[in-house]
Amino acid sequence: MSQLGIIARVGMGIAFLLSVTFLPALLMLLRPKGEHVEVGYKALAPLDRLVLNRRRWVLGAGAVLAVACAALLPRLSFDFNPLNLRSPKTEAVSVVLELMKDPLFTPNTIDVLAKSEDEARALAEKLSKLPEVAQAITLSDYIPTDQDAKMAAISDAALLLGPSLTPTDVRPAPSIEDVRQSMTGIVAALDKLNPDAATPAGASALRFKKALEGALAAPAEKVVPAFQRAVEPGLQTLLAQVNDSLQATPVTFKDLPDDLRRDWVADDGHARISVFPKGDANDNQVLKRFVKAVRTIAPDATGTPISIQESSATIIHAFLQAGILAVILVTILLAITLRNAGDVLKTLAPLALAALLTLAAAILAGKPINFANIIALPLLFGIGTAFNIYYVMAWRQGQTNPLTSSLTRATILSALTTGTAFGSLWTSHHPGTASMGELLVFSLASILVTALLFLPALLGPPKTPAE
């Protein structure tokens, strides 16, 4: 944020220096021809009269709109999940999101530190009973329970499956026709089985059946070798894993790898507990409930869900701090420039309405505030102040028809130029950048509406020289 502020401040300083030095010199050198008629929008004259003659109606409508927007603010949320700033269509993100649907494969776990392994086991048991927790594991969970019974079952399975997994006599490789007949037999067996597509296993079986049917419809000489290359390596790996599992032996703490023990138990005896959330670990509400529940038992817990939520709180606090400082500094600058408290309030009042309109538009569009688009809020304040002070200064100089004036044309062209840049961000394939551009467009539209309609009604007829 501080770097963003430095870049913006330096850029504005350079732009200002060029505007008061290079641009006037360029105009004197090129001497562009002036306009033959007054520049403005004459078609807006009826709207100009309506705004000034029906000031109370316009101000009343603005007040009602502000109240309605304020009523929506409780529905405003902050999306603290950094994954939502990435495109779910990319392979890496889509795989992560798919894995995270299973709580046991999510990186959004919480770590709790206990003074000893005994304390860790007791605390893990307590955490596991929480409805928001799928499981809490310690180093002890790497030691299987009921090993005697399990070893007996493994020995029986080894006697039955061992000869098939490690045969002494290996038959010759099947021919293409043999493989084709096997594929046909599998399709027929699946037809009889009639898998349920609503279950994960049934859906997988139907996809496999469809793939086999597609392969059988093509020439066997081309499809069968490709099918074998696709299926056999994975099958061989699976069979090797099954064979390895049948060679299992009893496991004790001494049998665990040193690296694994160091990950869970420190040299001074402190032990780690890893807590997994229940439900969709990529859902913000699930993570909020998960963090809150775990912290009721372990206030000093750490982990990704806690760090990203605390980071969001830090960023929100930083932007609130920056916003308050900006309001104070701009108010002081306006007070020095305008030297009238009423004019200062009239300059700032449309900004409050524009901010409410922007946030309400984001809520209605279903776009939460996130780490990227929150940048739009300070920009709203800066652009809005610039537009409003132009109209206040013109009003103080006796401008009677603001909407038909050249000032409105300059303001609209300036807004369109800025909006084009913001719109280009909105079209980005990066969700975070697109959300920033979208909120910037919302804010720019809100600023333009309040500056062109609400502010003239708030200012009223221009002051006379005596005033």
Tokens for 86, please give them: 């990435």
- Over the chain, what is the mean pLDDT? 86
Domains defined for the chain, CATH in brackets: 2-83+308-459 (1.20.1640.10), 84-143+252-307 (no CATH), 147-245 (no CATH)
Least Cα distance to 187 among 210, 219, 220 occurs for 210
Q: What is the pLDDT of residues 33-69, one digit of tens each?
A: 877 767 777 888 888 888 888 888 989 999 999 999 9
Instruction: Give the list of residues 6+ apart from residue 299 with CB closer than 8 angstroms, or none.
Output: none
Q: What is the pLDDT of residues 348-360, one digit of tens each?
A: 899 889 989 999 9
Q: What is the pLDDT of residues 63-96, one digit of tens each?
A: 999 999 999 999 988 888 888 888 778 888 888 8
Instruction: Give the list of residues 6+ apart from residue 380 with CB closer than 8 angstroms, or none.
Output: 351, 354, 355, 358, 443, 444, 446, 447
User: If residue 113 lies in a helix (H) or strand (E), which one and from where to where?
Assistant: strand 110-114
Q: Kindly provide the b/e burial profile for residues 19-39, where b requires at least 16 CB atoms within 10 angstroms of the residue's own CB.
A: eeeeeeeeeeeeeeeeeeeee
* pTM tops 0.85: no
Q: What is the pLDDT of residues 407-443, one digit of tens each?
A: 888 888 888 888 888 788 888 888 888 888 888 888 8
